[in-house]
Structure 1
């Protein structure tokens, strides 16, 4: 069985974990997109008012960090749930690099779907978030729209995190012994 086919089969086998990981990505991407859309929208945040800009930038950074940590913990849960299958794949003759490639393919598939759906939900949420934010500050929400810089920053951050998750997951399988992989899933539930 090919690596891609095996990776997809493992995703479908553990559909609950895959859906949890995917939903956490979708939610985080939608939140981060709307956060940066407001930060880089000149109608909302006036960059000449340094105090307001830095205050909102601090809030945006906090939201970003919480969202990225949420994705990272979901990834960790995702990987811990797969340790038994990974150990069996190594025992059955797959190399550690092949197992790492399986995880990379799974993360890439879930990441692409998560980015597409997350941005779509972010676009759907954008008018609601803009109305709330502008209403909270007493501004005119009709001026607020899509900020190309916000979209670019969101995509850049999410792609960098996706690449980091792939590298971390590959490193996780490389550093673990087979017996540790077999014990890890049991320890996760106790």
Structure 2
């Protein structure tokens, strides 16, 4: 296993912080519209492949590529809705710290400062992708988005006979009901 040099680690931390600031700014800028408009803009800042594999669990292995693609898209929309819900237009982002996770990944520890001065902690797990960094998990006040979705969807997948396509249809219907 290769160990990152101090310069590479510093560059990763700086790049991850920049990507978090960009995602936050995009989310705040889209606050006046539906989350469905945020989803395509956020897509290039999300590691949807990793998130979808973790969230879908065993159903991922038996799904066709088309079913996987459809699930990634609906999961992208779910993430946009979640970010839109967690980040208000008047929130101020405060970077508290950033730390390497292994040799490439970085966790950026932030607080969402509300207008009333209260703070909500958000930890952004980032990894290199393309020329930037992508979000692969979001932890709000100790609760992981990926783990929460995995646990919720595992029960739903079980009830749907393990069909990723059926789960995707169900999530799409929920999403469409929210817009």
TM-score of the pair, normalised by structure 1: 0.27
Give the structure with the larger helix fraction: 1
Find the structure with the greater CA-based Rg.
1
TM-score (norm 2): 0.28
Structure with greater contact order relative to length (CA < 8 Å, sep ≥ 6): 1
More strand by share: 2
